Structure 1
Amino acid sequence: MSVGLAGLMVTLYGVSAGLGVPFLAAWTRRVNRRVLLSVLLAVLVLGNLITAASPSYPVVLTTRLVMGFASGVFWAIGVSMAMRLVAGRQASRAAAIVMSGISIAAVVGIPLGTYLESLTGWRTTFLIWSGLSALVFLAVAVTIPSLPSDNAVPVREVFRLPRTNVRLRLVLLTVVLFVLGHFGAYTFVRPFLEDHASATPGFITFVLMIYGVGGAAGNFVAGFTTTNRLRGSFLVGCAGLVLSLLLLLAIGDSRAGAIVSLALWGLCFGVVQLCQVTMTQRAAPETFEAAMSLNTMAYNTSIAIGALVGGVFVDHVSVASVVWFGVALTGASLLLTLSAGRNSAGATGGGVAP
């Protein structure tokens, strides 16, 4: 099948993780969160197991669709669960730890999966993911106490939040733009490197691991800077995303250029990834679970659309065109944040939005 068609595995996963989560988080608002998390992990265990044994591409797509629902709901409930497990004064630190976990997983997961696939094959890789999910399932069952739901709201109130909370609305629009750009390009970074740098599978695995290390480093840095410089951290990270994509276009035809570009890309995405979750938390602290479900909808739907549009560009224009698509959208996210900050400063007599 074509590269663009293969990208549907990302698209369908993003569609279900995005569009389904506000409804599922609201419909399960009376379900104990430990029970719900256990069910989500069980879905991931079975989904990865079925994927590993799938006899055809349609079965893989169907399984990914179901797994997306589970992944999306975790994004909505995971951080608020962590905040409830500790004393009130430690809640923000607990949230930062889980945000770091989500962020590091986002930048390390694909490179690690690529590395395992190069050693074992894709079916074995999914078996490994299934086993890891099973271990986490057991850990949750043994260690997490009962957590009755306490801040989920009905569906109608979830979708009312962006209309009544201007700050949250701006955060969601910012997320849509940078995720469209980032994942539109990143989904097809492997064929880009194969076409422009004549990269071998081993080199692609190596450079994606560099990207993952950069992402972890960016997440670590952002953990210190977001407390007092949240907006500034996001602006720097977003500007770095634009620069890294331009560098990939300019010098990505050499191996050294590809390494530099992907290292910077990962570093900046690690910063932006942590910032956007923190921005959501600060925009709606009293309804964080509902706000996070909207964030998840915006984020994962944008992954799906970005991968879909990227596939069209790759199949009908060129693989380089999808990187330009990423430049345009991440640049738009940067400009929106700058504009929102200026408007906020003018409205508050020169103050700076956090």
Structure 2
Amino acid sequence: MSFSRTSTVSTEPRSRFRAWLGVAAITASLFVFVTTELMPVGLLTPLSAGLSVSVGVAGMMVTLYGISAGAGVPFLVAWSRRVDRRALLATLLAVMAAGNLVTAVSPNFPVVLAARLVTGFAHGVFWAIGVAMAMRLVPGEKAGKAAAVVLSGMSIATVVGMPLGTFIESLTGWRATFLIWSGLSVAVLLAVVLTLPSLPSRSAIPVREVFALPIRNGRLRGVMTTVALYVLGHFGAYTFIRPFMEQRAGASAAWVTGLLIVFGIGGALGNFAAGHTAGRNPRATFVVACTLLVVSLLLLLVIGGSLAGLAVAVVLWGTSFGAANLCQVNMMLAAAPDTFEAAMSLNTMGYNISIALGALLGGLFAGGFGPAGAVWFGVALTVTALLTAFGKRRAPRARRP
């Protein structure tokens, strides 16, 4: 299966500059979605005080957002299968703008939770359609690069978005911060409308067929299993990276912040590095990235007792995770080229569930064996993902109908 056939939707002449402007608009969309998801993490203390709830209860803003971002995606993508993707993305950004606006002016915490629930659904749908849209805007041989550019929006949100939101809150307050992000959502919406061409849906299918895909398509089932395993491993360890840094290396809060920023930068570099090979051979590139992910976690355990060793391990971890994230998109495309959006909706659901389960199981290991236990859990699950990827070497390609 050629990527050039599956990733380009139109034969009409379109300037290269305008196409990449569209990719940039989709990248900005991901930046807005991810920063909106993570914003409460840096604002929990003022949020909880302003809404008269405990910090633990305020954390439900992140939890509920993540659940809705995963649970409803296959249904929403299938139900919107006849909607032009540019119009759908604009609608999702409008929902995001409205959700941030409601959060900014909400009189109480239940209203905030309701707004987060709705915006979480929009976030999940974006993950199912956004990368595919970017890959369709450019010539087939550039599809992998377009995917890498879009996924860099997640790393940029981690490196820039969260600290920026915290800084704005310190100057204006948490309500004004969400209000500003609502305006940013509107600005990105306008960019999408102005730069993206019409993109009719071509690979979405009815709900009843979405959940049958892994049953009929063994290669897709294998990719989904591999992705779930490495996401479980990564987030099982990453959730407890701060206590590991503090206990093992005596890292200060400033060091932790700096290393997390470095992790995000490494993720962006990993995206771009894998972009050169993931389109041609996603499985082999994933195997390399996942191997480096295992090595980085082992380095964390072996040399993470010093700040210098910690920095080396974190840089390699971020870079390999960024590369693996890009590869899993290309692996999904290779496994289900004719039902890519539907497959990505299932992948989004599995990805978010794996994040939640990874944090839960990692917490059990951290509780029993300390933060290093969570890292060992990450090693075990990532090695299992690597073995699964190796085992799928001879899996048959999905047949075109």
**TM-score by shorter chain over 0.5:** yes
- Residue 306 of structure 1: how far off its partner (Å): 1.7
2:7 aligned partner: none
Q: Which residue does the alignment assign to 2:259?
A: 207
- The verdict on how the C-alpha distance between 1:307 and 1:223 changes in structure 2, with shifts beyond 3 A counting, is same
The CA deviation at 1:23 is 0.4
Q: Unaligned 5+ residue runs, structure 2? A: 1-43, 45-53
> Which 10-residue stretch deviates more, 144-153 or 231-240?
144-153
Offset at residue 312 of structure 1 (A): 4.4
Q: 2:248 aligns with which of 188, 196, 206?
A: 196
1:252 equivalent in alignment to 2:309: no
CA deviation string 1:267-306 (max 9, x = no partner)? 1011111111001001111111111111211212211222
Equivalent residue for 2:154, pick from 63, 87, 106: 106
Q: Distance in 2 between matches of 1:188 and 1:130?
A: 31
- Map 1:289-304; keep pairs closer than 5 Å: 289-304=341-356
Distance 2:214 2:327 in 1: 19
Which residue matches 1:307?
Answer: 359
Q: What amino acid does structure 2 have at the position aligned with 1:176?
A: A
CA RMSD of aligned residues (A): 2.9
Q: Distance in 1 between matches of 2:161 and 2:341?
A: 29
* Contact kept? 2:290, 2:320, Cα under 8 Å: yes
Q: Which residue of 2 aligns with 1:178?
A: 230
Alpha carbons of 1:5 and 1:305: their partners in 2 closer, same or farther (altered >3 Å)? farther
Match of 2:71 in 1: 19
C-alpha contact (below 8 Å) 1:192/1:319 kept by paired residues: yes
Q: Secondary structure at the match of 1:199?
A: coil
SS of 2:388's equivalent in the other structure is helix
Shift of 1:84: 4.2
The one-letter code of the counterpart of 1:103 is L
Alignment match, 2:214 = 162
Kindly provide the amino acid, as one letter, of the partner of residue 259 in structure 2. Answer: V
Counterpart selection for 1:82 from 125, 134, 139: 134
In the TM superposition, what is the alpha-carbon distance from 1:74 to its structure 2 partner? 0.9
Query: In 2, distance between residues paired with 1:61 and 1:314?
Result: 29
Greater CA drift, 252-261 or 3-12: 3-12
Structure with more contact order per residue of length (Cα contacts < 8 Å, sep ≥ 6): 1
Does the aligned pair in 1 maintain the 2:219–2:392 contact within 8 Å? Answer: no
Cα deviation for residue 201 of structure 1 reads: 2.9
Distance in 2 between residues matched to 1:151 and 1:92, nearest whole Å = 20
Distance 2:105 2:250 in 1: 32
Q: Which moves more between the two structures, 186-195 or 14-23? A: 186-195
Aligned pair count reads 341
Alpha carbons of 1:23 and 1:234: their partners in 2 closer, same or farther (altered >3 Å)? same
User: What is the percent sequence identity of the aligned residues?
Assistant: 57
Q: Is 2:96 aligned against 1:96? A: no
Which residue of structure 2 lines up, in the alignment, with residue 149 of structure 1? 201
Please, what TM-score do these two structures have when normalized by structure 1? 0.85
Report matched runs for 1:274-285 at 5 Å.
274-285=326-337
1:45 offset after TM fit, Å? 2.3
Q: Which moved more, 1:246-255 or 1:47-56?
A: 47-56
C-alpha displacement of 1:258: 1.7
Alignment of 1:116 onto 2:168: no
1:261-272 pair list within 5 angstroms: 261-272=313-324
Amino acid at match of 1:195: Q
Answer whether contact 2:86 2:198 (CA < 8 A) is retained. Answer: yes
Pick from 186, 191, 206: which aligns with 1:139? 191
Shift of 1:55: 7.2
Distance 1:129 1:315, change over 3 A: farther
Q: Map Cα deviations across residues 233-254 of structure 1 (whole Å, 9 max, x no partner).
A: 1111101111111222222232
Q: Per-residue displacement from partner, 1:16-55 (whole Å, max 9, x unpaired)?
A: 2222111000011122222211121122223344455667
Match of 1:352 in 2: none
